[in-house]
Amino acid sequence: MREVNSVTEIFGSMVFNEHVMKERLPAETYAALKRTIEQGRSLDRGIADVVANAMKDWAIEKGATHFTHWFQPMTGVTAEKHDSFLCPQKDGTAIMRFSGKELIRGEPDASSFPSGGLRATFEARGYTAWDATSFAFIKDGTLCIPTAFCSYGGEALDKKTPLLRSMELLNRQALRILRLFGDTQTAKVNTTVGPEQEYFLVDRELYEQRRDLIYCGRTLFGAKPPKGQELDDHYFGNLKPRVAQFMHDLDQELWRLGIFAKTEHNEVAPAQHELAPIFTTTNIATDHNQLTMELMQKVAARHGLVCLLHEKPFAGVNGSGKHNNWSISTDRGVNLLEPGDSPRENAQFLLFLAAVIKGVDEYQDLLRISVASAGNDHRLGANEAPPAIVSMFVGDDLDEVLRAIETGADCGPHDKVEMRIGVHTLPHFTRDNTDRNRTSPFAFTGNKFEFRMVGSAQSIADCNTVLNTIVAEELSGFADQLEEADDFEAALNDLVRRTIAAHRRIIFNGNNYAREWVEEARERGLLNLKTTADALPHLVSEKNIALFAKNRIFTEAELRSRYEVLLEGYCKTLHIEALTMLEMARKDILPAVLRYTQALADTALKKKQLCPALSCGVEEELAGRLSTLAGCLYDGAAGLEARLLAAKECGDSRAQADHYKETVFPSMQGLRAVADELEGLVAKEFWPYPTYGELLFSV
Ligand code: ADP
Ligand code: MG
């Protein structure tokens, strides 16, 4: 392959983007397609045929032979079913064809995707529909069409459909607010997202020796190595050559797909790294993040590495998250979460800010649920990630302004004026790193919010669907009130003041890792949903069903189906982990311990034969400890197995999830503790797995 050096030359080279469309489509087709993209109009079949044909020709020139509708089922990963462009002719030859119909709509047999009971088996086929706002691209010789995935009844079966619905909702409600402020120019409001992705890289040969990594993506056993992340010497450290090559390759692949990979660096834990892209429109950022995760794994394989996206691959060192940087901006490039230069812009900013504050407070549970998974439970609440308590950081400067608004008092020592919204300008809030609170789950960082609870393996579609929906809901309530007001300015002032006063409890600028915060949060009445099993039932509370139904994001049936899928996913994950532990404990660890005990006993016997006076104290003591622990391991495995079996008797999925949380999981922890103690005692040549030290310092 020719080595391509110019980034600008390769950037987007595998994407059917606007540049390519303009070049290859007749002017009127291009104009129609652009209207579809910008205004969400449906595409005429005739136009779709022209677009499809141009796409096919372009894709074939790039070496593609197949096409696929690329979609995002509720599994959280992407799915594709490949069809070739090949179309047989009567005379025994074949031509390459791709019709508008095939572009717009697909019908994958989708009966094996989770639907939470939404799709009865007799109508197993769902359909996929092109999301024209996200460009088609070529991956592995296949033209990929980003699509939404629905049942025949029109119910969403994927993560893209609700996300698109929420973006449209936010657009409508934000426009109402902008009109109230006299903005007649803005035609479209979008949310934007830049997700920072954390991951681990380990050596493939070592990985392949551990079934826990292969089946579960995380280690289920493993004693702490002598060195972990104590010295903080990995964070932003020099890239090792193999990692640097991986990142270089990954960048090239991502750039080809038009993904704005920007920053790559080492993270806190050994073997941990991060990639941050430049932000873009939310649904495209979501598509890109899914592709990024996929490519990280593919490119790693080429370098003899494995990329671990799990939230907690290793106990005792940091886990991985995904910081979801989120903002709202107009088609004219105005960031609505950036304080402006005029009193009018500032008033508008404060109203949007108030909507976010109110939304986060009223729907803490939904934000928590949007990041709930068995994997992420290991992170949230540990001293490395935000706690499971949702709160907001606004920084001291902005907090001072909010307090001044709330009390109608002076705006702090800097600015001795009464804070009246719509009259005074705001200071520009510092975006300096020093001012950043790294412990907050939801931090205002100058012109965007950074939602830090998201797990590294999760799709960002869920949290952004929730963010868009709750903020749109509050904006809609605000617009209802302000549209009725006789004196807009007075009503606005009053509204912002009341909102901040009513929802101040959600703002916390202190240390979220502190023990005292848990107590204080309880006093403030904030939720502390520690595990996925605790959080999920809130999804189908009356308040949340009403929110989603009113705003047409999820019908009650859709929401309940998602609830089922999430509960099931939680139980299945823990089930697989427990089974893997049993297999490892019984087939590898226990036999290894017994072999080593035997070796000790043989040594002692031979020593006695050689000379009865030789001391066998070490052999005896060690064999004794090993035998005791082996007994604990054996019993622990039996106990875990019994608890796993009991899960079947639990009745509904909610009771089952509670059983996994309360009974199975502690039993897994107990088994692990015994095995990890054994690992510290058993000689290296007998231990069946690569150690933490080897895994973490392998690359
Ligand atoms: P850092 O957090 O490392 O200081 P930045 O603040 O520049 O870096 O950005 C972190 C992430 O936030 C990047 O992915 C960036 O693209 C994204 N980001 C910046 N501005 C916005 C915005 N208006 N909307 C959404 N994401 C944004
Ligand atoms: Mg960040």
**449 by DSSP, 3-state: which?**
strand
**272 by DSSP, 3-state: which?**
strand
**637 by DSSP, 3-state: which?**
helix
Q: Are 199 and 272 in contact (CB under 8 A)?
A: yes
Average pLDDT over residues 125-129: 84
Take atom 17 of ligand 1 and give the residue whose Cα is closest: 194
Phi-psi domain of 220 (left: phi exceeds 0; alpha: psi -120 through 50; beta: other): alpha
**30 by DSSP, 3-state: which?**
helix
Taking the C-alpha atoms of residue 13 and residue 4, their distance in angstroms, rounded to an integer, is: 12
Does 281 contact ligand 1 (Cβ within 6 A)?
A: no
Does 284 contact ligand 1 (Cβ within 6 A)?
A: no
**327 by DSSP, 3-state: which?**
strand
Helix crossing, 27-39 with 45-61: angle to 10°? 100
Average pLDDT over residues 70-84: 89
What was the pLDDT predicted at 567?
96
| C-alpha 432 to ligand 1 mean position (Å) | 13
Average pLDDT over residues 457-485: 98
What was the pLDDT predicted at 154?
83
692 Cβ partners below 8 Å, 6+ apart?
A: 219, 222, 223, 224, 225, 314, 316
586 Cβ partners below 8 Å, 6+ apart?
A: 637
What was the pLDDT predicted at 639?
98
Average pLDDT over residues 209-217: 98
Ligand minimally distant from the alpha carbon of residue 333: 1
Q: Are 372 and 459 in contact (CB under 8 A)?
A: no
Relative to the CA of 195, which ligand 1 atom is closest?
14
CATH 1.20.120.1560, applies to 569-696: yes
Q: Which of 6-10, 128-132, 135-139, 434-438 has the lowest mean pLDDT?
A: 434-438
Q: Are 603 and 619 in contact (CB under 8 A)?
A: yes
Does 194 contact ligand 1 (Cβ within 6 A)?
A: yes
Average pLDDT over residues 309-332: 96
Taking the C-alpha atoms of residue 686 and residue 356, their distance in angstroms, rounded to an integer, is: 56
- Quote the DSSP letter at residue 539: G
Closest CA to 68 of 141, 144, 129, 158: 144
Average pLDDT over residues 547-567: 96
Beta strands in 290-388 (DSSP E): 305-308, 322-330
Q: Ligand 1 pocket check: which of 325, 437, 447 to mutate, most ligand atoms within 8 Å of Cβ?
A: 325
Average pLDDT over residues 101-108: 88
Take atom 1 of ligand 1 and give the residue whose Cα is closest: 433
Select the more confidently predicted residue: 269 or 178. 178
Take atom 14 of ligand 1 and give the residue whose Cα is closest: 194
Helix crossing, 556-583 with 665-681: angle to 10°? 30
| C-alpha 430 to ligand 1 mean position (Å) | 14
Q: Is the predicted pLDDT of residue 607 greater than 50, yes or no? A: yes
Taking the C-alpha atoms of residue 336 and residue 589, their distance in angstroms, rounded to an integer, is: 57
What was the pLDDT predicted at 394?
93
**373 by DSSP, 3-state: which?**
coil
What was the pLDDT predicted at 359?
98
Average pLDDT over residues 51-77: 94
Select the more confidently predicted residue: 153 or 526. 526
Confidence of residue 1 (pLDDT cuts 50, 70, 90): very low
| Domain residue ranges of the chain, discontinuous segments joined by + | 7-158, 167-554, 569-696
Q: Regarding the domain with residue range 7-158, which homologous superfamily does it belong to in the CATH classification?
A: Glutamine synthetase, N-terminal domain (3.10.20.70)
Q: Regarding the domain with residue range 167-554, which homologous superfamily does it belong to in the CATH classification?
A: Glutamine synthetase/guanido kinase, catalytic domain (3.30.590.10)
Closest CA to 155 of 527, 450, 558: 558
Does 13 contact ligand 1 (Cβ within 6 A)?
A: no
What was the pLDDT predicted at 455?
98
Average pLDDT over residues 453-479: 98
Confidence of residue 327 (pLDDT cuts 50, 70, 90): very high
Take atom 11 of ligand 1 and give the residue whose Cα is closest: 194
Does 448 contact ligand 1 (Cβ within 6 A)?
A: yes
Relative to the CA of 431, which ligand 1 atom is closest?
6
Does 603 contact ligand 1 (Cβ within 6 A)?
A: no
Does 277 contact ligand 1 (Cβ within 6 A)?
A: yes
CA distances from 281 to 195, 286, 330 (A): 11, 9, 11
Taking the C-alpha atoms of residue 485 and residue 482, their distance in angstroms, rounded to an integer, is: 5
Does 276 contact ligand 1 (Cβ within 6 A)?
A: yes
Relative to the CA of 445, which ligand 1 atom is closest?
6
First to last CA, the chain: 27
Q: Is the predicted pLDDT of residue 5 greater than 70, yes or no? A: no
Estimate to the nearest angstrom the gap between the alpha carbon of 384 and the chain centroid: 17
Residue 538, φ and ψ in degrees, nearest 5 = -65, -20
Does 193 contact ligand 1 (Cβ within 6 A)?
A: yes
Taking the C-alpha atoms of residue 284 and residue 292, their distance in angstroms, rounded to an integer, is: 12
| C-alpha 557 to ligand 2 mean position (Å) | 36
Q: Ligand 1 pocket check: which of 190, 279, 436 to mutate, most ligand atoms within 8 Å of Cβ?
A: 279
Q: Which of 13-22, 377-386, 492-501 has the lowest mean pLDDT?
A: 377-386
Average pLDDT over residues 305-313: 98
| C-alpha 279 to ligand 1 mean position (Å) | 6
| C-alpha 431 to ligand 2 mean position (Å) | 12
Does 288 contact ligand 1 (Cβ within 6 A)?
A: no
Closest CA to 453 of 324, 618, 551, 583: 324
Please provide the DSSP assignment of 99-157 as one string.
-HHHHHEE--B-TTS--TT-S-GGG-B-EEEE-TTS-EEEETTEEEEEEEEE-TTS-B-
Does 196 contact ligand 1 (Cβ within 6 A)?
A: yes
Reported as a single tens digit per residue, the pLDDT across 389-438 is 999 999 888 898 899 888 875 444 454 444 566 656 565 555 554 456 78
Relative to the CA of 323, which ligand 1 atom is closest?
11
Average pLDDT, the chain: 92
Q: Which of 35-39, 82-86, 282-286, 494-498 has the lowest mean pLDDT?
A: 35-39
Does 192 contact ligand 1 (Cβ within 6 A)?
A: yes
pTM of the entire predicted model: 0.94
The upper half-sphere exposure of residue 165, i.e. CA atoms within 13 Å in the direction of its Cβ, equals 25
| C-alpha 278 to ligand 1 mean position (Å) | 7
Closest CA to 454 of 326, 618, 283: 326
Q: Which of 424-428, 623-627, 639-643 has the lowest mean pLDDT?
A: 424-428
Q: Is the predicted pLDDT of residue 343 greater than 90, yes or no? A: no
Taking the C-alpha atoms of residue 624 and residue 618, their distance in angstroms, rounded to an integer, is: 10
| C-alpha 197 to ligand 2 mean position (Å) | 10
What was the pLDDT predicted at 51?
95
| C-alpha 97 to ligand 1 mean position (Å) | 42
Which helix or strand (DSSP H or E) is residue 501 part of?
A: helix 488-503
Reported as a single tens digit per residue, the pLDDT across 249-305 is 999 999 999 999 988 888 888 999 999 999 999 999 999 999 999 999 999 999 999
| C-alpha 325 to ligand 2 mean position (Å) | 7
Ligand minimally distant from the alpha carbon of residue 321: 2
Q: Ligand 1 pocket check: which of 259, 280, 448 to mutate, most ligand atoms within 8 Å of Cβ?
A: 448
ipTM above 0.85, yes or no: yes
Q: Is residue 154 packed enough to be buried (19+ CB in 10 Å), middle (13-18) or exposed (0-12)? A: exposed
Average pLDDT over residues 39-60: 90
Reported as a single tens digit per residue, the pLDDT across 530-539 is 999 999 999 9
What was the pLDDT predicted at 684?
96
% pLDDT > 70, the chain: 94
Does 335 contact ligand 1 (Cβ within 6 A)?
A: yes
Take atom 4 of ligand 1 and give the residue whose Cα is closest: 433
Relative to the CA of 278, which ligand 1 atom is closest?
16
| C-alpha 400 to ligand 1 mean position (Å) | 24
| C-alpha 251 to ligand 1 mean position (Å) | 18
Estimate to the nearest angstrom the gap between the alpha carbon of 646 and the chain centroid: 32
What was the pLDDT predicted at 8?
87
Taking the C-alpha atoms of residue 349 and residue 448, their distance in angstroms, rounded to an integer, is: 11
Average pLDDT over residues 207-216: 98
Reported as a single tens digit per residue, the pLDDT across 8-47 is 889 999 999 999 999 999 999 999 999 888 877 778 888 9
Taking the C-alpha atoms of residue 553 and residue 548, their distance in angstroms, rounded to an integer, is: 5
Take atom 3 of ligand 1 and give the residue whose Cα is closest: 276
